Amino acid sequence: MAKKSTPFEVADALHSVAIHLLRRLRVQDLASGIGPAKLSALSVLVFARHPLSLAALADAEQVKNPTMSRLVAAMERDDLVSITASSEDARAMEIRPTKKGERLLLAGKERRVNSLAKVLQDLGESELSQLEQSIGLLRNVIRRL
Amino acid sequence: MAKKSTPFEVADALHSVAIHLLRRLRVQDLASGIGPAKLSALSVLVFARHPLSLAALADAEQVKNPTMSRLVAAMERDDLVSITASSEDARAMEIRPTKKGERLLLAGKERRVNSLAKVLQDLGESELSQLEQSIGLLRNVIRRL
DNA sequence: TCTAATAGTTAGCAATGCTAACTATTGCAA
DNA sequence: TTGCAATAGTTAGCATTGCTAACTATTAGA
């Protein structure tokens, strides 16, 4: 049986693990030819399955509007997203991934996640489902953060 | 019962959760008055319990020498680390945290981790120990990455 | 109607990452 | 022993991504 740990200790360990996990995965991001911030924003757009406003996208990515504004502008220049004015509100934009953006995201994501998936394949089925449950827990934790 | 997921799906979810977790915790880092890269490097120095060379520190942090060189120079200016030449090799440096650096790290870490710990307190004991087991799994995964 | 709120942009700064090219030592081999 | 290649670190210059402050344009409401 595992030693009983305090929430502080678990938080500390979790923080450390998250840092080091991403640090390793960062290497794979390079092959996408697009930065991690753009890749992540593009991912939100692709999986949203409907257009998002700039503010909504900034919110989802936990960055400020000017930061997302710049990312979206760059992605539009690269033909990864298309921008149209909202029909109801001329101030607002509707941002969608282009076909090219969608293709790039899926390919990039595959490359990125594959190196992690390869290691996860060595885990047993029960370990994998345990990880999955923990991920579910963490999503709630993050929401309350 | 949870739907059976592929390693790829779990890897993807894990990647996403790690990103968003750190994004939330980043807010707390601000109170340290020191950037996350420096905080993390300082953490390595403090917990190493012996001096490290620049290359060793860069390696531990998974960054290139010039990047670490700049971080270390800034930390020395702020009196967070002390730098001495190695007695055996005049090219190499020995980097240690100062008292001030150690204090700042521990205080910063506490602040940083506390916001996460606060949310984790609302989890049940079984959920907490489940998280803990997953963290153990992940440490092995990261090592193999 | 006019004013306050909202959506987004622009400008300018800071932190952190990189590569290329440099200096200074070290160590090995001729 | 000398001289060259390898090693440790720095400097310069650039890209990305984050921020705040200050701006424009549109909308909505008093």
Centroid of chain to Cα A120: 19
Q: Over 60: is that where the pLDDT of B2 sits?
A: no
Query: Which tokens sit at A64?
Result: 């400020």
Task: Tell me the mean pLDDT in the region B5-10.
Answer: 87
The strand pairing partners of A52, in sequence order, are A95
A67 contacts chain B (CB < 8 A) = no
For B134, which of A61, A131, A145 is closest by C-beta distance? Answer: A131
B30 contacts chain A (CB < 8 A) = no
B69-107, pLDDT tens digit by residue? 999 999 999 999 999 999 999 999 999 999 999 999 998
pLDDT given for residue B102 in this prediction: 96
pLDDT given for residue B3 in this prediction: 59
Count how many residues are written for chain B: 145
Which H, E and C letters describe B97-139, residue by residue?
ECHHHHHHHHHHHHHHHHHHHHHHCCCCHHHHHHHHHHHHHHH
pLDDT given for residue A1 in this prediction: 58
Q: In terms of DSSP bridges, do strands A81-85 and A93-97 run parallel, antiparallel, or are they unpaired?
A: antiparallel
The helix or strand, by DSSP H or E, that contains position B85, with its residue range, turns out to be strand B81-85
Measured distance CA(B44)–CA(B61) in Å, rounded: 8
pLDDT given for residue B31 in this prediction: 80
Task: Tell me the mean pLDDT in the region B33-44.
Answer: 92
**Do A20 and B145 meet the contact criterion of CB atoms below 8 Å apart?**
no
DSSP string, A35-103: -HHHHHHHHHHHHH-S-B-HHHHHHHTT--HHHHHHHHHHHHHTTSEEEEE-SS-TT-EEEEE-HHHHH
| Residues 6+ away with beta carbon under 8 Å from B119 | A141, A144, A145
Task: Tell me the mean pLDDT in the region B16-22.
Answer: 83
Query: Which tokens sit at B130?
Result: 């489940």
Q: Which residue has the higher pLDDT, A12 or B37?
A: B37
Residues of chain A whose pLDDT is less than 50? none
* Chain B residues inside the 8 Å CB shell of A111: none
Choose the mutation target among B1, B9, B15 for the interface with A, i.e. most A CBs under 10 Å. B15
The strand pairing partners of A96, in sequence order, are A82
pLDDT level of residue B1 (50, 70, 90 thresholds) = low
Q: Which residue is nearest to nucleotide D16 (CA to C1')?
A: A35
pLDDT given for residue B21 in this prediction: 85
Measured distance CA(B48)–CA(A144) in Å, rounded: 33
B126 contacts chain A (CB < 8 A) = no
How close A53 gets to chain B, by Cα (Å)? 20
pLDDT given for residue B108 in this prediction: 82
B119-138, pLDDT tens digit by residue? 999 999 999 999 999 999 99
Mean pLDDT over each residue of chain B, to the nearest integer = 90
Name the DSSP letter for residue B91.
T
Measured distance CA(B88)–CA(A143) in Å, rounded: 52
Neighbouring C-beta atoms of residue A121, cutoff 10 Å: 13
Measured distance CA(B127)–CA(B123) in Å, rounded: 6
